[in-house]
Structure 1
């Protein structure tokens, strides 16, 4: 039986690379997007043109009920979901002295509440006879706290804690793990030179790659004794007091 993966934020950047990698391994691909309709449909077409199976699904995951709708839209279109990749997130800067209710709510709703709800409905749709995997894309900064990006960091720290909680709650049928990326791709607010400087400040003096993210995901899926863990793919940034955090 062909397995199905749902990738939130699957139309661009890391999510797109994950979708392409799963497609190469003959999985059915559910590509979630919010506003990136053109990119999601183009990616699905590229995968389908290779004789594989991909569909795009729209949902605004900052709205509570959209998480439930997304899961059941995928199940109704493709079938039961075997693997959930909680990749979609927002990343905006705020500090303790300028944090706003709007920033707090948007980060918590999109980066924490939505993965929690998606996990809930993923478990409900998975038949008792099947095992499943959930992989949460968090951030190396959950192990390397800074005073910057307060709402974002708290949302990702919460997701890392929820990874461990849900690993306990859903075992043995569903394994839950996380990946903590560091610098992978330049932010839209970074120049290439700024990204290179940030990457060079890691102990390994380089950025990780989307290919490494994909390899880590496949490793997690293949190792059946692994749950409640996080793999930091960050060039060692989480270890380094000298690491230069992202700046505007």
Structure 2
């Protein structure tokens, strides 16, 4: 009989924003949390201290997800410091603007490596170290736009659509020992291109007229982990943005 989960989770891009909320939520639920970071070392250290100060168990680990060799070492290194990993949350993401006219080989490859290739390599490594008899969980953070295609952010969109397809394919190939699901957020936090006013304009234009609270994503992760019959599914949390109605363009006429 399978254990439902051995409670150690690796979260990529966990030092801040959505990843930080996920890390805090998982730690509050009793998970040993491995906080992956790329450039945000100071934020990762502060988060680990916060979790430990609240009585949780947390570790930080660095890897540049744009470098294949570092991606390949990430889970083996995490296992050395935290023990076997039974839950992987692929949260780290590159989100840069390009289009059919402006996309370069560099931007294309960068998005594919960080948003698609690295999650796949990490999932392969998760499989290799998962103890026999334990159920694994993979949760990929994609984007509502995989159900709401636009001509904007071409390389990003294609990489996230690929990750959603990978989610479904691996749900089949890794069953029954590992379940693979996805979450597609809409507007959660303003990105670096947006002013606060532009972000408000964005979420005000979607059907529910509200932004997504990061804690909603944490709750969705809890649901997935505790729903043993669920695999190959996408939970979209976007206030109805994926329905594509009445979305306001932001500065430069670009819909984020």
Tell me, yes or no, whether TM beats 0.5: yes
Following superposition, the deviation at residue 68 of structure 1 comes to: 2.0
With the length of structure 2 as denominator, give the TM-score of the two structures. Answer: 0.94
Q: Which residue of 1 aligns with 2:186?
A: 182
Match of 1:121 among 101, 125, 130: 125
Question: Does the C-alpha gap of structure 1 residues 32 and 163 become closer, same or farther in structure 2, counting only changes over 3 Å?
Answer: same
Find out whether 1:18 has 2:22 as its counterpart.
yes
Find out whether 1:193 has 2:226 as its counterpart.
no
Q: Which residue of 1 aligns with 2:134?
A: 130
- Give the distance between the partners of 1:126 and 1:63, measured in 2 at CA: 24
Contact 2:6–2:86 at 8 Å: present in 1 too? no
Number of residues of Structure 1 aligned to a counterpart in Structure 2? 248
- Give the distance between the partners of 1:172 and 1:23, measured in 2 at CA: 26
Alignment of structure 1 residues 44-193 onto 2, 5 Å: 44-193=48-197
Q: Provide, for residues 55-86 of structure 1, a one-character-per-residue CA deviation record: whole Å limited to 9, x for no partner.
A: 10000011112122110111011100010000
Unpaired runs of 5+ in structure 2?
none
Following superposition, the deviation at residue 244 of structure 1 comes to: 3.3
- Give the distance between the partners of 1:22 and 1:149, measured in 2 at CA: 31
Q: Provide, for residues 110-143 of structure 1, a one-character-per-residue CA deviation record: whole Å limited to 9, x for no partner.
A: 0000001001001111012100100000000000
Contact 1:2–1:28 at 8 Å: present in 2 too? no
- Give the distance between the partners of 1:78 and 1:6, measured in 2 at CA: 9
Query: Would you identify which runs of 4 or more consecutive aligned residues in structure 1 move more than 3 Å?
Result: 244-248
SS in 1 for 2:56: coil
- Give the distance between the partners of 1:151 and 1:187, measured in 2 at CA: 17
SS in 1 for 2:230: coil
SS in 2 for 1:215: helix
With the length of structure 1 as denominator, give the TM-score of the two structures. Answer: 0.97
Q: Which residue of 2 aligns with 1:205?
A: 209
SS in 1 for 2:121: helix
Contact 2:207–2:245 at 8 Å: present in 1 too? no
Q: Which residue of 2 aligns with 1:234?
A: 238
